[in-house]
Chains A and B, each alone.
Chain A
Amino acid sequence: MKAITANRLEDGRVVYRKAEGGWTQHFEDAARYSDDALDSALEAALAEEGVVVGPYAIDVEGAALSGAKLRRESIRLFGPTAGSTREAAKQGADHVQI
C-alpha cells in the first residue's frame, strides 16, 4: 500500500494526504492507497500546490512505514534522531506557534 506525503507550503512541515482530501500532520490519519487508486490521488494532491510542496507516494505496510526509503521517511515522520533541536522537535516545542 501507499500513502502520500508532502511538505506544507507555509512552514515546510511534513504532512500526509487524508482520505477525504486535505492534509494532516498525523500519519495515523493518512489515507492508504492501493496501486490502482494511487495515480488519481496523487494527481489530486499535485493539484494542491497552493497548500503543499512536492507531494509523492511512500510505501506503507499496515499501520507503519516501510520500503527502501523507510529510514528517510521515519526521520521525516518522527523528527531528527540527533541534533540540538531534536528534543524541541520531539515535543513539538516550536518557538513559533504553528
Chain B
Amino acid sequence: MYRYDEIDDTLVRERVEEFRGQVAARIKGDLTEDQFKPLRLMNGVYLQLHAYMLRVAIPYGVLSSDQLRMLAHVARTYDRGYGHFTTRQNIQYNWPRLVDIPEILDQLASVEMHAIQTSGNCIRNTTTDPFAGAAADEVSDPRPWCELIRQWSTLHPEFTYLPRKFKIAVTGAKADRAAIGVHDIGLRLVAGENGDIGFEVHAGGGQGRTPRVAVKLRDFVGQRDLLAYLTAILRVYNLAGRRDNMYKARIKILVESMGADAFTEAVEDEFARLKNGPLTIPVEEIERVAAHFLPPAADPRPVAKSADPAFLRWKAHNVKPHKVDGLRSVVVSLKPTGKTPGDASAGQMDALADLADRYGLSEIRVTKEQNLVLPHVAAADLADLHAVLAGLELATPNAGLASDIVSCPGLDYCNLANARSIPLAQAISKRLAETGLDEPAGELTIKISGCINACGHHHVANIGLLGVDKKGEEVYQLTVGGVADGQSAVGKILGPGFTADSAVEAVLTVVRVFTERRTGAETFIETLGRIGADPFKEAVYAD
C-alpha cells in the first residue's frame, strides 16, 4: 500500500487545522452559512435530513487494517455505531456533530485518511477494480496509476473549481470491474503494439439525470504522458464546460454538444502543447510509486477438501481467482438478507481488520457494489476464515447475485431524495430469500436510487429502480437492461411506475421471468437481448 510522505502528511494535517478554524468561526458567528457551506463541502461535510453527514475518502477503495480500525472507532465514538460504504468506494457517517468533525478528521489524519475532495466541483476520489493487484485477469496493476492521479489531482489549483464534479475510474483487468464507461474519464490499462503498457482513454460517461456511455478518445496513451493527457481533457472541459446550468455542466454534456470528434480534436491540440513538458512523469517516479504495490508472495500450503455445503456455496460466489499461486480474493458481503446494503457496524469493522491481519496481509478493499474485499487470502485459510466471518454475519454467500443489491441512502437520510431506497432493498432481499430465486438467477444486478442523481447506479443495473415523487407519493420507475462493467449500457424504463410494495413484486416478477425463460447459462442481458422486454412487461403489468 502507498504510505504518505512528509508532503502528504503536512497537507492533510494543515487542512484539518484550517477546517478546525473554519468550524470555530462558523459557531462563533464570524462566518455565515453561505460562506461556510462551500468550505464544509470541500471537507466532505454535508447537511442531510437529520444531521451532518461526513464522507471520508478511501483512495481507490484501498484500506489498511489500521485504517479500518480507525473507521470503526469513528463509528463507535462519533456516530451511532455504524458506517455506510458507498458506491464510490468511500464511507459515510450519518450522525456526526459538526463540532466533532475537526477532531474526527484529526484522528483520521493519524492513519493517513481525510475527507478532502469528497464533495465539490473538483476531481473526486479515483475508483478502480476492487481486485486490483490480485485479479487473475489483470493486464497491469491500476493502483500505482490511481495513486499518481491522486497526488496530481489533490488540491490541484487549476481544477478545484470545475464546472461540476469530476470522476475518474481505472481498470487494469480484461474484465472491466470499475465501470469505466460511465465515468467522466475512464482509463483501461492495455498493452500497446510493442508490448508497452499504456492507457486506452474514454471520456464523457456518467449517470445522473442524463446517463451517457463514454466515448473512446484514444486507443493508447503512454504511461509517462498520462497526466499530460488527463490535464488536456480537464483543461478543455474546464474552459468549455457550461457553468450557467448545473444540470448541463458535466463533461458528458460538453462531449455531446461539441461532438466526440471535435472534443477529441480539442483534447489532442491541448495535449500536443503539453506533451514532453513538465507534466511528463519521470520514470523514477513511476517506479517509486509502483514499489508501494508489490505483489504478495505465493502460498504453497496444501488445501484440505471441504464438504460443508455452507462453505462450498460461499466459496462458489464470494471467492475469486488470484494471479498469485495459492492465493484467492474474498468478497465480504455487506448484504445479509433484509439488512441495509453497505452498512457495517463498528464491531464488524474491528473484527474484519483483525481477520485482515491474520489472513489477508492487513489489506481490505471497498467495492462499488458496497461490499468489502480481502484481496489476498491463502486458499489454505479459506475454511477458517469462512467460519469466523459466518459468526460476524459477514459470510452471506451472495456476491454478484440478485440479493447483492446496491442501494443509495434515499429519503431515510438524504436531503436530495424523492423516495426511500433502503426499505425496498431490504424487502427485495427478503423476498428473494423466501422465493428461492436468488441462486437460480445467478449473476444479476439490482440497484436502487432515491432520486435522479443516481448514486445507487440504477441506470447501469440489469434491474434498476428509481424513486420519484408524484404529488407527495413515492413512485418507482423500473428499468431493465443496464450494464455497469464491460460494455456499459443504460437500462430502459419498462413501463408505468409502481408504489413501493408493487415495485418490490415487480422486481421479483422480472427475476422470475428471467429464470423461466433463460436457456443454459445465459445472463440476464443475454436473455433480454434474445426475447426482448415484452415478456417481462407482460408479466409485470399482467394485473
Residues of A in contact with B (beta carbons under 8 Å apart): 7, 9-14, 49-50, 53-54, 67-72, 75-76, 79-86, 88-89, 93-96, 98
Q: Determine which of B81, B97, B340, B409 lies in contact with A11 in the assembled complex, contact meaning CB atoms within 8 Å.
A: B97
B436 within 8 A of A: no
A12–B50 touching, CB < 8 Å: yes
List the interface of chain B (C-beta within 8 A of A).
Answer: 26-27, 29, 32-33, 47-52, 76-82, 84, 94-95, 97-100, 339-340, 343, 345, 409, 411-413, 417, 420, 422-423, 426, 471-472, 474
Chain A contacts for B77, CB-based, 8 A = 95-96
Tell me the minimal C-beta distance from B97 to chain A in angstroms: 4
Contact of A13 with B50 in the complex, beta carbons under 8 Å = yes
- Residues from chain A with a CB closer than 8 A to the CB of B76 are 95
Contact of B94 with A69 in the complex, beta carbons under 8 Å: no
* A82 and B422 contact, CB distance less than 8 A: yes
Chain B residues with Cβ below 8 Å from A9 are: 26-27, 98
Please determine whether A7 and B47 come into contact, CB atoms closer than 8 angstroms. yes
| Cβ-closest chain B residue relative to A88 | B80
Closest 8 A/B residue pairs (Cβ): A80-B412, A11-B97, A12-B51, A82-B422, A85-B80, A88-B80, A84-B343, A12-B52
Whole-angstrom distance from the CB of B147 to the nearest CB of chain A?
Answer: 32
Flag if A82 contacts B412 (CB, 8 Å).
yes
How far is the CB of A27 from the nearest CB of chain B, in Å?
14
B28 → chain A closest CB, angstroms: 8
* A-B contact list, 25 entries, CB within 8 Å: A9-B26, A12-B47, A12-B50, A12-B98, A13-B50, A49-B33, A53-B33, A53-B47, A68-B471, A70-B472, A71-B472, A71-B474, A72-B49, A75-B412, A80-B413, A83-B94, A83-B413, A84-B339, A84-B343, A84-B345, A88-B81, A95-B76, A95-B77, A95-B81, A98-B97
Beyond A71-B411, A82-B422, 16 additional pairs, beta carbon < 8 A: A9-B27, A14-B50, A53-B33, A70-B472, A71-B474, A72-B417, A75-B411, A81-B412, A81-B423, A82-B423, A84-B340, A85-B81, A88-B80, A89-B95, A95-B80, A96-B78
CB–CB A94/B423 < 8 A: no
* Separation of A11 and B295 alpha carbons in the complex (Å): 44
Contacts A10-B27, A53-B33, A89-B50 hold; do A83 and B98 have CB atoms under 8 A apart? no
Knowing A11-B98, A84-B345, the reply to whether A75 touches B49 (Cβ < 8 A) is yes
Within the assembled complex, what's the spacing in Å between the Cα atoms of A73 and B27? Answer: 26
Nearest A residue to B93 via CB reads A85
The answer to whether A12 touches B423 (Cβ under 8 A) is: no
In the bound complex, residues from chain B placing their C-beta under 8 Å from that of A95 are: 76-81
Q: How far is the CA of A54 from the CA of B99 in the complex (A)?
A: 18
Residue with the greatest number of chain A CB neighbours at <10 A, chosen from B80, B422, B471, B472: B80
Instruction: Report Cα–Cα, A81/B49, bound state, in Å.
Output: 13
Q: Are A83 and B97 in contact (CB under 8 A)?
A: no
Q: How far is the CA of A53 from the CA of B29 in the complex (A)?
A: 12
Nearest-neighbour CB distance to chain A for B491, whole angstroms, equals: 24
Q: How far is the CA of A85 from the CA of B51 in the complex (A)?
A: 12
Residues of A within 8 A of B29 (CB): 50
CB distance from A60 to the nearest CB of B (A): 15
Q: Please give the distance in Å from A76's CB to the nearest CB on chain B.
A: 5
A12-B48 contact in complex given A82-B340, A83-B94, A95-B77, C-beta closer than 8 Å = yes
Contact partners of A96 in chain B: CB under 8 A = 77-78, 97, 100
Most B CB within 10 A of own CB, among A10, A76, A80, A89: A80
The one of A10, A13, A49, A68 that contacts B472, using a Cβ cutoff of 8 Å: A68
Given A88-B81, A95-B77, A96-B78: A83 and B49 within 8 A (CB)?
no
